[in-house]
Structure 1
Amino acid sequence: MAPYRTLAVPDSLYRSMVWLDYRLAVLFTVGLPLVLLVWAAVRRERALVRLLGIYWKVASLLLVTVLLLTDRQPLGLAVAVVAQVLVLVCLWFWVDLNEELADLPSWRGLPLTVRIWRWAISFWAVLGALFSATALGCMDAARLESPRCAVWLQPPLELHRHVASLFAFIFGGQWTPAVAAFVGYLGLVAYAVGLLQWLLVRLPRQGRVAGEF
């Protein structure tokens, strides 16, 4: 039986949970880390800047997810699960950064805020990946149009509507779902190439040291 059918919750509640997941994603994966990156750069906290820089490189896969789902590409559902797992890993994997962060005074505002954010986004990533996995049964194109599956497309389509209006106002062109999906696939290929290069070259050489990630 498909995963989305085994989740015994009413459709209205499931829809609210999906929208809550997207809203939490905007808060924890875009809003807070952007503020923290600017804050860390202003304070010249190298360890924090490196951690947040790595985070943004990895979290870019979440944008690819949104671009794919904008054009109703079922692959976006699987990418969403992988993206959240990779976000969790990238925040805790690095031995050198973990040691540098542990040495920062816990009473200072910036290190304390980063610690709270790191734990909060880790909690969200675990729950978000598990929740997103309930939609993997929707990867069949025929099922993707069902009410329970279509709810995963609503937030990306709503975002696309605003982006398309802004794109048309600034550039005078059309930002269509097909264009969004094309850019998403290009980003996915580039991401996969970069990840493979890191796994095959840098990881064996550097181990769990962030280095020039």
Structure 2
Amino acid sequence: MQNEVWLRPLIWMDYRLAVLFTVLIPLILLAWAFVQKAEAIQRLLTIYWRVSSLLAITVYLLIAALPVGYISGTIARILIPIALWFWIDLNEEIDDQPKGALKLTFNSWRWAVTIYSVLGAIASIPFIQCAFSREALATPLCTILREPPLLFREYFHANSTPQFLGFLGVVGLIFYVVCLSYFVLFKLGKQGRSALPQ
């Protein structure tokens, strides 16, 4: 009970920050980059959206209380900073762009979401036990983490069952793993740290 008192507000704050840093701001930046014709920022944000889709998949997995959702959320927070800083050619193109509001805002967001993701990955370590123990899955530590996804379901999928939404999450996760595996096993060796195929 003591844990619930301080843990619940932190989890809700984390979800609100996630909406701000991982959804709203990058959407605005992507639209801005299209208007400004900033191709390097567009490409990096497109990569970001592909990688960060694991966060959305995690929400659907947690709605159905699927244990893998407790792992996928942590992995997403690890992959996001990698995706934002991995590409040498895009980093150089962005650095070479003239100073302006878009470049400053984009770089500020990139640093902010990197710090947020790293801290979030560290903070999510205690929740990984929820994926491996039925007893832990029923504890407040694990059930509180599902409250924001369940509210998301009430707002956007009120007529869908948790099982169906969990099924969508599993399908999304399988597709994500296949695409990531293909990239790591086949494309990464050929193109290295270049976002454009060689």
Give the aligned residue type for 1:64: I
Pick from 135, 141, 151: which aligns with 1:158? Answer: 151
Q: Conserved in 2, the CA contact under 8 Å of 1:64 and 1:184?
A: yes
Q: Is 1:103 paired with 2:96? A: yes
Pick from 129, 151, 176: which aligns with 2:121? Answer: 129
- What's the % identity of the aligned pairs? 43
- Quote how far apart the aligned CAs of 1:141 are: 2.5
What is the aligned partner in structure 2 of residue 112 from structure 1?
A: 104
Give the aligned residue type for 1:65: T
Q: Is 1:193 paired with 2:185? A: no
Which string of whole-angstrom CA distances, capped at 9 and with x for unpartnered residues, describes residues 111-147 of structure 1? 1100000000000000001111111122223322212
What is the aligned partner in structure 1 of residue 26 from structure 2?
A: 33
Give the aligned residue type for 1:84: R
Inter-partner Cα distance in structure 1 for 2:97 and 2:24: 23
What is the aligned partner in structure 2 of residue 202 from structure 1?
A: 187
Structure 1 spans left out of the alignment, 5+ residues:
1-8, 166-173
Give the aligned residue type for 2:38: E
Inter-partner Cα distance in structure 1 for 2:181 and 2:83: 15
What is the aligned partner in structure 2 of residue 169 from structure 1?
A: none
Inter-partner Cα distance in structure 1 for 2:3 and 2:166: 30
TM value normalised by structure 2: 0.95
Inter-partner Cα distance in structure 2 for 1:88 and 1:149: 25
Root-mean-square deviation (CA, aligned residues, Å) is: 1.2
Inter-partner Cα distance in structure 2 for 1:52 and 1:202: 19
- Quote how far apart the aligned CAs of 1:69 are: 0.1
What is the aligned partner in structure 1 of residue 163 from structure 2?
A: 178
Which string of whole-angstrom CA distances, capped at 9 and with x for unpartnered residues, describes residues 147-178 of structure 1? 2221101000011110124xxxxxxxx32111
Structure 2 spans left out of the alignment, 5+ residues:
none
The count of aligned residue pairs is: 195
Q: Conserved in 2, the CA contact under 8 Å of 1:163 and 1:175?
A: no
TM value normalised by structure 1: 0.89
The list of structure 1 runs, each at least 4 consecutive aligned residues, that deviate by more than 2 angstroms after superposition, is: none
What is the aligned partner in structure 2 of residue 171 from structure 1?
A: none
